[in-house]
Chains A and B, each alone.
Chain A
């Protein structure tokens, strides 16, 4: 594996990591964040998908 391949691979890895983070942030906001408005709005969804809710 030469240097170009290594750097291409690490770019893919960094991109994948970034994508995973975007997804986890969304899940966190929808399922975990405890702001009052968010909690009330997401209430039924949190109960049904098994997120710990109040």
Chain B
């Protein structure tokens, strides 16, 4: 068990660093730019929205979550500061490492379970498992809950978290049965489980009111998914390799 945990933590650490680097290069510039729109420093279609309208939109974006003035609101949401300072980068690295260590540990537990029932996990299987993790924990939840830039109006946080977690769980279970199930019925049931949260439906937006330009949001969505996919593939490969690196388990 110690070997399981340590290999997952090493893999998660490395994958987290990779993720933080890719994020710094690709994703964070979008977040910082979106925050400048959120704070009212930049305005999409400058000259069309009045300051009052902007303040109202920015306020609505945070809805029930805050009643402070828009300026304070920006400071509140991004306690690390709206600028991309070293402190903020350090926190992002820390949380990237934490998140992927967590995912790595979940992954190694799954791999161990698979080996118990006779499924061998090598490097290429590990990468595939990583990609499945990406599907379960990022891609499929994003199908209902699109990656949102700061300042995007949203619905009830709790409902979204529940749907997110249910979708991740259903994707893992569904793909397991679709891939390793015996007979047509188990595989078909896997597909049904996989699809269920999407048929049920995500707690979607009731209106559109994003402050940032759609091009920025599109770039953010594509890049955050791409970074997730690359990181997860690396994580899966690393976990499988490190876990089998010593004969003792």
- Residue in B closest to A14 when the chains form the complex, CB atoms: B1
B225 to chain A: which residues have CB within 8 Å? 50
Q: Does B96 contact A (CB under 8 A)?
A: yes
How close is B135's CB to chain A, nearest CB, in angstroms? 12
The reply to whether B5 and A50 contact each other, CB–CB distance below 8 Å, is no
CB under 8 Å from chain A, chain B span 166-210:
none
B interface residues (Cβ-Cβ under 8 A, vs A): 1, 4-5, 8, 19, 23, 27-28, 31, 62, 65, 77-80, 88, 91-92, 94-96, 98-99, 101-110, 112-113, 116, 137-138, 141-142, 145, 147-150, 154, 157, 160-161, 164-165, 224-225, 227-228
Known: A20-B106, A48-B31. A54 touches B112 (CB 8 A): no
- Residue in B closest to A32 when the chains form the complex, CB atoms: B161
Candidates A12, A19, A30; contact of B116 at CB < 8 Å: A12
CB under 8 Å from chain B, chain A span 15-54:
15-20, 22-32, 34, 36-37, 40-54
Known: A44-B23, A44-B28. A50 touches B147 (CB 8 A): yes
- Residue in A closest to B27 when the chains form the complex, CB atoms: A48
A interface residues (Cβ-Cβ under 8 A, vs B): 9, 12-13, 15-20, 22-32, 34, 36-37, 40-54
CA distance A47 to B104 in the complex (A): 20
B148 to chain A: which residues have CB within 8 Å? 47, 53
